[in-house]
Amino acid sequence: MTRVAIGIDLGGTDIKGGLVAEDGSIIQTYIKSTEAHLGGRKVVDRIGDLIQEILDSEGMQGRRDDLQGIGIGSPGLIDQEKGAITRPVNIPDWDYWINVREIFQDRFGLFTWADNDANVGALGEALFGKGKGHKVVLALTLGTGVGGGIVVNGEIFHGACGFAGELGHIMVNPSGPVCGCGNEGCLETYASASAIAKYAQDRIRVEHIPSILKDMARQNDGQVTSKMVYEAALKEDPVALQTVERAGIHLGIGIATFAVAFNPGIVCIGGGASKMGDMLLDHARKELEKRVFFHSHFATPITQAALGNEAGFVGAAGLALTSRS
């Protein structure tokens, strides 16, 4: 018997879901638009409809007895103990608690766990990705912001009230740019895909700096993206190279702090900007080595995450496969 679970990744645009086996392999996937404008209750109905589709799918045939339950990764505030969600970013009219555990228990007779999307992404990477076999795994997602998660012995570390793991908001420069959280110089303001794009954009505005990014941006309504920065850096564009270096160095400064605090076995970097691979991560590795004393003591490998777009729902399924009801 192979145990399986349903994993759901709730995003502002799409709800992704899948049936996942206990080794992390994906048996079936489904995707549905979130229709965020309809508000929280309707969005939860749509999650339920997607779960129903998975239950009716071919992949479910003969597996109902092996089904451990449902895991949901969501943005916003999560009450992990109750299985309730409120205020997910990008879904207006959801400023009240919805207990998804009760709703899906009633509708499907299946136990449901909910957790922060960055946390379940980290759990997925720890259980099934590059973190496999490590006691302490840190994961960072370089997207619009910088998401983070801490996994210890195969379980998400929540802290006292459920808010631990906000690794993107560790301060890497006390006089750095203002962050969305109200602090200044958070890791997120240097190493998120948005921060990378914004820094390059500001640099090419300074007229005398020659850069192919100017032409690339012109073909995209004047907007630089982190992908463009990567492509330009591959062509040795000086502005792009400097932008990647700046992001990588600050990533290394942040990881140096995590290294002394947690002594992780591995740090996994995912999300859009992580596609730059060693071009970005080598700067972080060098910076880490410079800053952490007794480096051999705190040896902290930094690696590109293995799970891609599926990390969210695979990690959510992992939550159902490793938690107890």
Provide the binding-site residues for Zn ion, judged by CB under 5 A.
169, 179, 181, 183, 186
Rounded Cα distance, 137 and 159, in Å: 15
Return the number of the residue (90 or 183) whose C-beta is nearest Zn ion.
183
Rounded Cα distance, 188 and 109, in Å: 40
Return the number of the residue (110 or 186) whose C-beta is nearest Zn ion.
186
Return the number of the residue (252 or 318) whose C-beta is nearest Zn ion.
252
Return the number of the residue (181 or 209) whose C-beta is nearest Zn ion.
181
Q: How far is the CB of 149 from Zn ion (least distance, A)?
A: 16
Q: How far is the CB of 30 from Zn ion (least distance, A)?
A: 34
Q: How far is the CB of 172 from Zn ion (least distance, A)?
A: 10
User: CA angle, 231 as apex, 202 and 187 as ends, to 5°?
Assistant: 50
Query: In b/e form, how buried is each residue of 231-269, taking b as 16+ CB within 10 angstroms?
Result: ebbeeebebbbbbbbbbbbbbbbbbbbbbeebebbbbbb
Which parts of the chain fold into alpha helices (H)?
40-56, 100-108, 117-128, 188-191, 193-205, 213-218, 226-234, 238-262, 278-291, 311-322
Q: How far is the CB of 178 from Zn ion (least distance, A)?
A: 9
User: CA angle, 73 as apex, 67 and 74 as ends, to 5°?
Assistant: 145
Q: How far is the CB of 267 from Zn ion (least distance, A)?
A: 19
Return the number of the residue (169 or 203) whose C-beta is nearest Zn ion.
169
Rounded Cα distance, 85 and 250, in Å: 32
Return the number of the residue (18 or 254) whose C-beta is nearest Zn ion.
254
Return the number of the residue (181 or 261) whose C-beta is nearest Zn ion.
181
Other CB atoms within a 10 A radius of the CB of residue 38 amount to: 14
Rounded Cα distance, 202 and 214, in Å: 11
Return the number of the residue (57 or 144) whose C-beta is nearest Zn ion.
144
Q: How far is the CB of 184 from Zn ion (least distance, A)?
A: 8
Q: How far is the CB of 177 from Zn ion (least distance, A)?
A: 10
Which amino acid, residue 185? G
Rounded Cα distance, 16 and 73, in Å: 10
Q: How far is the CB of 169 from Zn ion (least distance, A)?
A: 4
Other CB atoms within a 10 A radius of the CB of residue 157 amount to: 17
Return the number of the residue (54 or 167) whose C-beta is nearest Zn ion.
167
Please answer whether residues 52 and 26 qualify as being in contact, where contact means their C-beta atoms are separated by less than 8 angstroms: no
DSSP code string of 49-85: HHHHHHHHSGGGTT-GGGEEEEEEEESSEEETTTTEE
Q: How far is the CB of 45 from Zn ion (least distance, A)?
A: 33
